[in-house]
Structure 1
């Protein structure tokens, strides 16, 4: 039997989406969990200026905690983080809103270290439509943004994006795109979850799927366990194949009610889009520090050591290299 701890310690462990409260306590927990790198959300509803301010604050936080974390811009940086025993922080957006109506801002944010950008967050923007509105598809401007993201090397994320817009981004992009954090509607019907057909479509077109453990989208809700999370991973692997699947937890660690109120209203203040209720992560992986439990749970479910290492981070490294370049 493969030693779970040894496999976890030796593997590249990547979380494709964390939107936690950025502070030293979290970084300490990342190290406890053996996290090699994470896609860290620095923009949701913010415009260009406020997003730059968030990146500036994140840069300072990284500098102040450089014993634990480092900034990641390339896959070589991810491997360097592993070598140094630090967690690499790659910056990501959950909304293209920060690009405003300026294609040139895509390059600006790439230069600042942004590696993954979700096209829309739940509702309509200049690029396309989110999953909580009637979906008008990818706009003409959106096509230009996708092409520019391909050119500079920023990955297109479709997790909160409407199905028609997602399909059109998948077809328009010349580089792999992703659902960085999603679950299958085959296990629970929810506007944020993806159908079997959608999961197959993105994989068939070279795309990637990060599986989330956000309890409201899991089959058993807040009563879910790490086994429910592994069931969802297995379900998606059976559709998309072992090489197209990774982890994207959607950890919201450290945040309070005000944060969720901001997230769940359009533009952060307008109409209510959804109400999550109580948020409790699955038993067995309540915190980032419990990440090693996931490696163990995947092995116990019957995934081989090689398959487990791919899911836990190896697949993310390969697909990010495809998008970002060497």
Structure 2
């Protein structure tokens, strides 16, 4: 592991792997300081609470390598103690149901990032795979409440119109925790130059993903192609508002992809990713140091690397979580 990687705070802005001992050990092997772990997509309020309880049990069980992140101080402590900080995140506001009171309840349980919509329509707004009706009136209240309690608004899978209205409605920075630029590849999940500038101009944040179907060369992508996507976004909005959001799905089989690509997890198929294989050089979470090394090879300054590998996320999380 390079000294630079070792001395940096490494944050993965989105990981939806099969959370179990082997994955957590790989996070340690990769030197990951903190990671936004998805604990809800299509699950109900009740099932999401079950997922959180299960994750908390694992954090206790593997306490020598894991710790729960509620504040940015917890991230810094994780770094000092050589642990990986687990940030609870949702990829859908579905679990809020129609109850604003659930938002603070989830914050109290440790939830710190919530994506408003997952691909399709919910009570808040519209996802990126159907006609976008924009943010609902209830959606505005959801954002106000998330701002109040300190949960970050994530717009990665959200439709363009709903995203624009959410960016305008939030009085705290919002993010695309995991996306790629359409400038390199056209895809419903990728964001145009205008969308990337819009979120950055509002003080928001962009986590760039390495999910191969969104990268220019798809399943043939290497870690260099991932660097190209990050560099594209940095050239557009500057190095202070960009970070990493891998979208690792480590440990999952085809059933998982069937579940996440169907509306509500069980209705119509929204998309077919084809062959899903992570870029060569960063196929597993344990290979995270290769990303820092690739940035060094690309001639990036140490300051830029440290910002993008984690410091930027820490700063923006601090702005949102502080209430």
Distance 1:7 1:115 in 2: 28
State whether structure 2 residue 317 is matched by structure 1 residue 320: yes
How many Å apart are 1:93 and its aligned residue?
0.1
Deviations 1:97-149 (A, max 9, x none): 00000000000000000000000000000000000010000000000000000
Name which of structure 1's ranges 96-105 and 56-65 shifts more when overlaid on structure 2: 56-65
Could you tell me which residue of structure 2 aligns to residue 87 of structure 1? 84
State whether structure 2 residue 23 is matched by structure 1 residue 19: no
How many Å apart are 1:277 and its aligned residue?
1.8
Could you tell me which residue of structure 2 aligns to residue 28 of structure 1? 25
Distance 2:292 2:4 in 1: 8
Could you tell me which residue of structure 2 aligns to residue 258 of structure 1? 255
State whether structure 2 residue 283 is matched by structure 1 residue 300: no
The residue matched to 2:317 in structure 1 has which SS? helix
How many Å apart are 1:302 and its aligned residue?
1.9
State whether structure 2 residue 195 is matched by structure 1 residue 198: yes
How many Å apart are 1:300 and its aligned residue?
1.2
Could you tell me which residue of structure 1 aligns to residue 281 of structure 2? 284
Could you tell me which residue of structure 2 aligns to residue 155 of structure 1? 152
The residue matched to 2:206 in structure 1 has which SS? strand
TM-score between the two structures when normalised by the length of structure 2: 0.99
Q: Show the 5 A alignment for 1:48-197.
A: 48-197=45-194
Which consecutive unaligned segments of at least 5 residues does structure 1 have?
Answer: none
Distance 1:135 1:224 in 2: 31
Q: Show the 5 A alignment for 1:210-289.
A: 210-289=207-286
Distance 2:50 2:72 in 1: 25
How many Å apart are 1:186 and its aligned residue?
0.4
Distance 1:15 1:132 in 2: 25
Could you tell me which residue of structure 1 aligns to residue 41 of structure 2? 44
Distance 2:129 2:235 in 1: 27
Distance 2:308 2:315 in 1: 11
Distance 1:215 1:100 in 2: 32
How many Å apart are 1:209 and its aligned residue?
0.2
How many Å apart are 1:240 and its aligned residue?
1.0
Distance 1:133 1:32 in 2: 39
